[in-house]
Amino acid sequence: MLRLGRSCGKRFGEMNTLNLPVRPRRLRKSAAVRALVVETILTPAHLVQPLFIVEGSEPEAVSSLPGIFRLPLCRLAAYCAQLESLGIGGVAVFPKTDSALKTADGREALNPSALVLRAIGEIKSSVPALPIFSDIALDPYTTHGHDGLLDAAGGDVDNDATVAVLSEMAVLHARAGADFVAPSDMMDGRVKAIRAALDADGLSSTGIMAYSAKYASAYYGPFRDAVGSTRAPDAPPISKATYQLNVANRRESLRELRLDEAEGADILMVKPAGPCLDIIRDARENTTLPVAAYQVSGEYAQLLAAEKLGWLDLRATRDESLAAIRRAGADIILTYFAEAWARDR
């Protein structure tokens, strides 16, 4: 018969204390210690709230962006005052243009009484200390949905003709009170041209936040719904691949970032933020300028959709996503979560 003797080993789970002079967990042992050594700090001042503007007297819900509304001019002052009281770093203004005003050449963009110009003036007069970032691109004004004017053949965007219009547009926005004009079109040379136009008009104090590394991303859909540039279901899709960056490319973004800095940009932006954390880090390591990142509409919408299905904790994933963008190197984050995050902190 086999007899079992006394065990010569230790019971499961028993062992001598490890001789470890370095124990990283010492810096994680309590909430107070973790707060003491935190590396990435996010405050409301780092965040910019995008605003969608519409004619009329009542806010309009954006179905693909739960919790986000298109605001009429009469609601802007009160809402922006709330954002300022929360310490939000600024607002980025985007108009929904009446379809009757849209044309192939986007001429409404140069209307001195355009909705966006009245919105900028309203915000600046009511909340003068709140920085305003004003979008400079033609897609809210064109029937074809491109960010610029089409060439004679109608198959591609005419770079130089578009830059001429964008320069005029930037001057109008700066005169209305924008602190920063933000060309999001990705045309070659537009930062240089806009800087020259602003300076020639005596607007040298107006800054330029360039969408320097803006990718041809699939995450922009809800934004197009919000500004009314979504294509009709029976309309053929349009491609912006000749001017927005290829999502597979990394080195190409550095070229764009360096060009915009050389042409006079004051802030460089990467868009979208979450899928481009590596690009944000590249930007941070290759410039001394402030780096902005846009957590775009699709990033926002997917978190709310997952929360609605009970798959994710919205607040936890929201906070993690913003921390990751900041950790990657963004000084400024444009996000639809700005107001909610500031209220929850």
- CA distances in angstroms from 270 to 76, 257, 279, 330, listed in the order given: 27, 9, 7, 9
Residues that are catalytic: 214, 271
CA distance 134 to 115: 12
Buried b / exposed e over 276-289, threshold 16 CB at 10 Å, is bbebbbbbbeebeb
Strands 69-71 and 60-61, how do they pair?
antiparallel
* Contact (CB, 8 A) for 66 and 226: no
Angle made by CA atoms 76, 127, 124, in degrees to the nearest 5: 80
Handedness of CA 46, 299, 315, 328 (dihedral sign): negative
